[in-house]
Amino acid sequence: MYNPKPTSRLLLFTVILLVSLTLLTTKVVSESPTADEDIEGIEELIALDEEAEDLEQNPDGISRESKDNKPSGGAAEVLSKAQRIVLELNSDSAKRFIDENEYVMVLGYAPWCARSADLMPRFAEAATALKELGSSLLMAKLDAERHPKAASTLGIKGFPTLLLFVNGTSQSCSGGFTSEEIVIWARKKTGVPVIRIRSVPKANEFLKKHSTFVVGLFENFKGPEYDEFVKAATSENEIQFIETSNPEVVKVLFPDAKPAKPFLGLTKSEPERYTAYEDPLSVDGILQFLDNNKFPLIIVLTELNSAKVYASTKKLQVYLFAEADDLKKLTESLQEVARKFKSKIMLVLVDIKEDNLAKPFLTLFGLEESEDIAVIAFDYSSSSKYLLESDPTPVKIEEFCSGLFQGILSPFYKSQPIPDNKDTNILTVVGKTFDDLVLRSPKNILLEVYTPWCINCETISKQVEKLAKHFKGLENLVFARIDASENEHPKLQVEEYPMLLFYTSKDKQNPIKFSTKSSSKELAALINKYLKTQDDVSKDEL
């Protein structure tokens, strides 16, 4: 079975992913233009719940809206309709209701949470769509602030939380969070991984609601290849699978097809709209095909799709940062570049004004304050990062992508400007001077590795300053420090902050790590010990 392996991440890039995942698990991202636009909607829905509780209590403790009490207006009609479908759970009914039903999807929310407001209309739309499709899945919601004990019992820890319970066992929603994505994910997890379409009218009706899907053509719906198709449909959580035995249906859903049974193709709403699968049908092959082709040629990064982008198994990724207007121009001019590297490199555009999305990346390159167009790249197979240091024209970007794919780019290492180290007891080392001041120096080097935000670094810095004064005048011993949050070097592997590394004059490739818990006196003794082993001049201990 195809199972993408986690890609290797740079230390700081891991922070990006963790932040992104935290946002998705504790604050589900929506597609709404602004969260404030939906606050009124959720308050109206909650008000309906409370009114329904007062007017009508079911014997099982689950409240429903009175059919005669319908709000007016388009949005209110959606909410009213959904209110008849989405059940409101409480402390008394939540666990019992889940235990008594095979499939239950629960939205845990808080009335004050903007993200809850963002997700609620989509959840309601999904509930309506599932009802119309005849799904046996029951949709429910729980005010986790009002019923904290029930929320804790169900495993709701943040707002909003979307959980599917199958025979009482929960799993977090791992699909998208639009109404369509919720429906697709829920149907796949409740035993309906494939939709069967037999006629052209049904195919046309399907096209009105869906733009991204997989279509499979089979003589009859059985056999080894069909079994692989169904297994792939069950494993893939985000894309709807369609099956048919009618070539005319395929012509509607995939006009570019020259269908021979069996046939499989991916349709999406992008310039590369139709992509046919050409290998033998297998679960691994189909899933790899979708992983290579499901994204647009050029992806515009948003909070909604960021987790999917970060989780992609594509090891080569190029990111372009610019203002919104420039992004539009780049999208048009880079289509051909993206087409040349399709299935090889993921090309991503990021609005430089979106701090949550752009700044974590730009910080890795020391560009967090820059407002210029920036082009960077990652090769996660080697944990390397790269920076385009020439003008970001389409030609230069294509050359950059080509170099990345061929593995001939020089990795980028962040460095502060070269400082003036004249008349100082402790040298300041930066990325650009690490080779000259540490690795190529004929002297013994005690290097302090720190970062400004490290609480324990200040104590070590004072110890190093004390040692530097004590050993002042010793020609073959140099004290130095480097801010590893702003400076990088391939030979500097930072495991923790602070670090004390002793580079002997005879072996610069294998520094000796001193304990940062040692006293100044103990550190002085260690320095003397290693100096003596090289027949160097020693000094008395402190």
Residues noted as catalytic: 113, 454, 457
Q: Which position has the token pair 């089979």?
A: 218
CA atoms of 413 and 127, how far apart (whole Å): 50
Instruction: Determine phi and psi for 66, rounding to 5 degrees.
Output: -65, 135
DSSP labels, 452-514: TT-TTHHHHHHHHHHHHHHTTT-TTEEEEEEETTT---TT----SSSEEEEEETTEEEEEEEE
Q: Where are the alpha helices (H) located in 334-456, listed in sequence order?
A: 335-340, 355-363, 394-406, 434
DSSP letter at 515?
P
Spatial separation of the C-alpha atoms in residues 538 and 530, rounded to whole Å: 9
Identify the residue whose tokens are 């002297």. Answer: 443
Positive or negative torsion for Cα 448, 451, 455, 458: positive
Residues paired with residue 482 on neighbouring β-strands, in sequence order: 449
| Cβ–Cβ under 8 Å, residues 62 and 33 | no
Degrees, nearest 5: CA angle 250-253-256: 75
